Amino acid sequence: MTTALSAGTLTLADDLTITRMGYGAMQLAGPGVFGPPRDRSEAIAVLRAAVDAGVTHIDTSDFYGPQVVNEIIKEALYPYPEDLHIVTKVGARRGADASWNPALGRDDLILAVHENISRLGLEAMDVVNLRLHTHLPISEDSIAEEFAVLAELREQGLIRHLGLSEASSAQLTEALTIAPVVTVQNLYNVANRQDDELVARCEREGIAFVPYFPLGGFSPLQADELDAVAASLDTTKQQVALAWLLQRSPAIALIPGTSSREHLRENLAAADLTLPAAAIAELDAIGG
């Protein structure tokens, strides 16, 4: 039976070992990542099924919902298994119109960390990612002021480890002058390969690279090519895309999201899919 452990683990610190196949909780909110889920009982069941399958890496944020997803995670999983690590993001706020708004001021960041801790029922967050941008392309602005706030909270014991979301290599370099970084979470998939060099850097430096939107941003032609590879292997395009990422680098940890237990099982099954060299060559060509 496929479990999250089929994809192996990443040890990022003495107290932080995560399954490479994690779970992203964003889709547990309502449409547009706003409001309550259509089926709260299924959302709870999905979380419990993920943990039962060995997932020890759940990605969330208090701006999913907002608040809704963290409350569901606590309802489903508290008290948490000792080996479960919950990763959150700060740096944005949701408007009443479901808009995504930057919230990178000192007070915003401190409040967001406290809110995540409170709603999840934790004493401290395992990992907090600083979400730097609300849209692409990624800028090269200094992040020292914002990251230093999270570093202070780490020194206070409210955060154990720090990460970045939607960050450039230069911003990672700047952050590392302030505090250790254990994760970088950026858009990356078969078709979106702009961070190839950053993936390689994370592998060299023992940092987890956590791609989001494994099927996001494909052109119709690229999607057709992915479908063709999946058909040739008698599997799904989602499984192919996830398997490609797992084989792309041992530093990659995945957080595919779903609000369905059936889709959760399909995602986990990607850990058992070994892509042959010919398929990898076809997929590499998609990204140009």
Q: Which residues are catalytic?
A: 64
Q: Please give the Cα distance from 256 to 213 (Å, whole number).
A: 8
Radius of gyration of the chain (CA): 18
Q: Across-strand partners of 161?
A: 127
On whether the CB atoms of residues 130 and 163 are closer than 8 A, the answer is yes
DSSP per-residue letters across 22-42 = -EE-GGGSSGGGBSS-S-HHH
Nearest to 74 by CA among 55, 48, 109, 37: 48
* 203 HSE (CA, 13 A, CB side): 13
Tokens 């042959």 — which residue?
Answer: 276
Q: Please give the Cα distance from 18 to 107 (Å, whole number).
A: 30
Q: Please give the Cα distance from 28 to 204 (Å, whole number).
A: 34
On whether the CB atoms of residues 185 and 129 are closer than 8 A, the answer is yes
